[in-house]
Amino acid sequence: MSKNKTIAVDKFESMQAFTQVVEAGGFAAAAREVGLSRSQVNKLVANLEVHLGVQLLHRTTRKVTPTDAGRAYYERCINILAELEEAETSIARLQTEARGTLRINAPMSFGMRHLGRAIAAFSHQHPQLQVEVTLSDRFIDPISEGFDVTLRISEYPDDASLISHLVMPTPRVLCAAPQYLAERGNPGQPKQLREHSCLHYGHLPSAHRWFLQGPEGEVVVSISGALCSNNGEVLRSAALEGLGITLLPTFIVANDLQQGDLRVVLPEYRAPTLSLYVVYPVNRHLSEKVRLLTAFICDRFDTHKIN
């Protein structure tokens, strides 16, 4: 009886060590995370491989990566460990209470304009929760980078390892400053955009093409301009200074359009609408803090509450 209990405890520790090695990309970093020596972590993972009869990791002097079997086993392990963690922590807290640290990633422009007040309101509701917000326009991997929740503006996030909740559409509009249009003219057809300075996102695969929907269907226009950036605020500022025509979400330029500082260009043509999603790894689906934040974000940013 005691032997079986010892085996179960060793297996649990081995699973923890193995998942840390995969996430950290090495034994030394994993050892620091779990508070063991490098040799102890290596032994736990080696024992696990012997027990399973498969190689879980490719080991080189520079990097440690999971094998195909290791990746499959890792996905199972993180679900099991998450369930065990949730079962243990649920005993010590009320059902409606969130505790611990909640790590959030969001796009820079949306985060700066709309997320600060929202997270402050959420924190007031859950004072025992510590929230860490990272803003970045880089396309991150929530699993490998350790984020509990990611706000993502994109087409539907088609990833089996992630759960996605649609929050709201984020329509985009072509616009430019009145002084630019006065100097360069207002294009009447999409093909005339080729003659203009087009300020565009520089990190997308289709950076030098705009896809528009109009009366005749989809139109693809090759563009160029004085500036490209991976940040919408930079493009907005450049457009306000009369540098060119830009294509931006309305949540960035709605006030500028209302005040007349920017004007819509080619109003009959629209870019395909992107959407704001709350995204989190499958293994976070039992977390009370993730559930509460997801419900809060979906309620806060519906189509009636933001441009």
Query: Domain ranges in the chain?
Result: 2-91, 100-170+274-300, 172-264
Query: pLDDT (tens digit, 0 to 9) for every residue of the chain, 307 residues total?
Result: 334 444 444 788 899 899 999 998 899 988 988 888 999 999 999 999 998 999 999 998 788 999 999 999 999 998 888 888 777 766 555 444 567 889 999 999 999 999 999 999 999 999 889 999 999 888 888 888 889 999 999 877 677 778 899 999 999 999 999 999 999 999 999 999 999 999 998 766 666 899 999 999 999 999 998 899 988 999 999 999 999 999 999 999 999 999 999 999 999 999 988 899 999 988 665 688 898 999 999 999 875 556 6
Does residue 133 contact residue 106 with C-beta atoms inside 8 Å? yes
The structure tokens 């790590």 sit at: 103
The structure tokens 């540098």 sit at: 243
Length of the chain: 307
Report the CATH fold assignment for 172-264.
D-Maltodextrin-Binding Protein; domain 2 (3.40.190)
Q: Which CATH class is domain 2-91?
A: mainly alpha
Residue at 291: amino acid letter: R
- Asked if CATH classification 3.40.190.10 holds for the domain at 100-170+274-300, the reply, yes or no, is yes
What pLDDT was estimated at residue 92?
53
Helices (H), the chain: 2-24, 27-34, 38-52, 68-91, 108-110, 116-125, 178-184, 232-240, 250-259, 288-300
Report helix angle 27-34 to 2-24, nearest 10. 120
Q: pTM to 2 decimals?
A: 0.64
Evaluate whether 100-170+274-300 and 172-264 have a shared fold: yes
Does residue 82 contact residue 51 with C-beta atoms inside 8 Å? no
